[in-house]
Structure 1
Amino acid sequence: MTGIEKHDVMRVSDADRNGTLRRLHNAVALGLIDIEEFEERSAAVARARLHSDLDALVGDLPGPGAIVTSAADRVELRGVLGSLKRHGEWTVPSRLALHRRMGSVDLDLTRARFAGPMVVIELDLKFGGLELRLPDGASASIDDVEVAVGSAHDHRRDAPAEGTPHVILTGKVVCGSVDIRGPRKSWFKRG
């Protein structure tokens, strides 16, 4: 008998049942299952005796470590005139919408934490630009950025085509630019 087969015939604990219920709660919150299906599956969780019983109830749902985006993972940053800056340690949502008029946006993701392996940045910039700093190993796509009177350019040398995180930029920039750069280089090297 392999390790997987042994797992299937092992009895479940209350902690196992609670973990399965958490996955079901998340599935309802994300709209993957409805309330009626949640109630049916929850009742079956209470009756489950073996791991195979629990696995059958959540086999069609994302795993406990999976990153699933919802509307709550989308953050909008709006403003007129002036600049918007995010630096240091901050959490980058799965979707970030930037709406700026006559102002610049400076996002430094080099020390940021990411909600998932992919970030979508929606642009609506008029008379302003975006400077985006990415950590080493990150990839970016600017193919879906529409620019009118301006530019969109990845200035990094040897930027990976597929890296982690992968940042996808979409939307429109009017009279402005999108500049993607790597981490800032220190003038002083530490030994």
Structure 2
Amino acid sequence: MTEQFGPSDEAKQAIPAVSPDHDVLACDEDRERSAERVRSAVADGRLELGELDGRLTAVYRARTRGELAVAVRGLPEPGPRDRLVVDRAPTSRFALGLFGGFRRSGEWVLPPRFTAWSMWGGGRLDLTEARFCAQETVIRAVAVWGGTGIVVPDDIDVEVKGFGLFGAVGGRGARKSARPGAPRVVVKAFALFGAVVTKPKGR
């Protein structure tokens, strides 16, 4: 009987499999996804802040998907809220509550500029599961004898500007996220005998 030499079954299992697209050239979207994994890992405490620049440099210098895989080695895949800025069409650009109400919630996509009017009515913008077309989004909220509530999650930066004339503009949800590279939302509000209130998730 001829004895055959080669790796045992156990050894074969120990050899890491090479992804079929290992040598495929990486595109900008591949790099951005990988960069977001690195930023998320720093925000979660998986990576030290000092490792951020080195990892990101490796990501943006990578020419193939195999090199990207090396740059993000040991980091978890993005979760459902990890990619907040997306290349998708906006769900809507305008909301109007006129003698009635409006509501935007769930996983919807905001444009770089969004306008909300509440006139003798009310409305609610819930950004808890929202995605964004740009790194910075401006929401113009006007309330005339009405009210608009804006719910913001804790993984985005929020700034509230504006004033109320016989009304109120509330910025309880205004704050800077601890997450590196977080999207930024600027609320520009005006309230006349009404209110525009920005509040954090869960309140």
TM-score using structure 1 length: 0.52
In 2 relative to 1, CA 162–146 (structure 1 residues): closer, same or farther, beyond 3 Å? farther
In the alignment, what sits opposite 2:163? Answer: 146
CA contact 1:74–1:94 (8 Å) conserved in 2: no
- CA RMSD across the alignment: 3.2
Whether the 8 Å CA contact 1:124–1:173 is kept in 2: the answer is yes
> Alignment identity in percent?
23
Matched, 1:137 2:155: yes
1:125 aligns with 2:143: yes
Verify: 1:106 aligned to 2:152, yes or no.
no
* Alpha-carbon distance, 1:129 to partner: 1.4
Q: Which residue of 2 aligns with 1:97?
A: 115
Query: Greater share of strand residues, 1 or 2?
Result: 1
Paired letter, 2:164 = V
Cα displacement string for residues 41-60 of structure 1 (whole angstroms, at most 9, x for unaligned residues):
xxxxxxxxxxxxxxxxxxxx
1:160 to 176, 197, 202: 176
Alignment counterpart, residue 176 of structure 1, candidates 170, 194, 200? 194
Report which of the two structures shows the higher radius of gyration computed on alpha carbons.
Answer: 2
Deviations 1:135-161 (A, max 9, x none): 113222222x1311122222248x327
Matches within 5 A, 1:38-77: 75-77=93-95
* SS of aligned partner of 1:137: coil
* Counterparts in 2 of 1:155 and 1:116: CA distance versus 1, 3 Å: same
Is the contact made by 2:167 and 2:195 (CA closer than 8 Å) also made in structure 1? yes
2:122 alignment partner, SS class: strand
Distance (whole Å) between structure 2 residues aligned to residue 78 and residue 114 of structure 1: 20
Partner in structure 2 of residue 78 of structure 1: 96
- Give, in whole Å, the separation in 1 of the partners of 2:94 and 2:144: 16
Q: Deviations over 1:61-106 (max 9, x none)?
A: xxxxx99xxxx99822234111111111111111101122111110
CA contact (8 A) 2:163 2:189 kept: yes
Give SS of 2:186's match. strand
Counterparts of 1:118 and 1:162, CA distance in 2: 16
- Check whether the contact 1:73–1:94 (CA below 8 A) recurs between aligned residues: no
CA contact (8 A) 1:81 1:101 kept: yes
Please give the TM-score of this superposition, normalised by the length of structure 2. Answer: 0.49
Q: Secondary structure at the match of 1:116?
A: coil
Letter in 2 for 1:132: I
> 2:163 corresponds to which letter in structure 1?
E
- Give the counterpart letter for 1:85 in structure 2: R
2:185 counterpart SS class:
strand
**More deviation in 159-168 or 105-114?**
159-168
Q: Which ranges of structure 2 fall in alignment gaps of 5 or more residues? A: 1-27, 29-84
Distance 1:104 1:169 in 2: 17
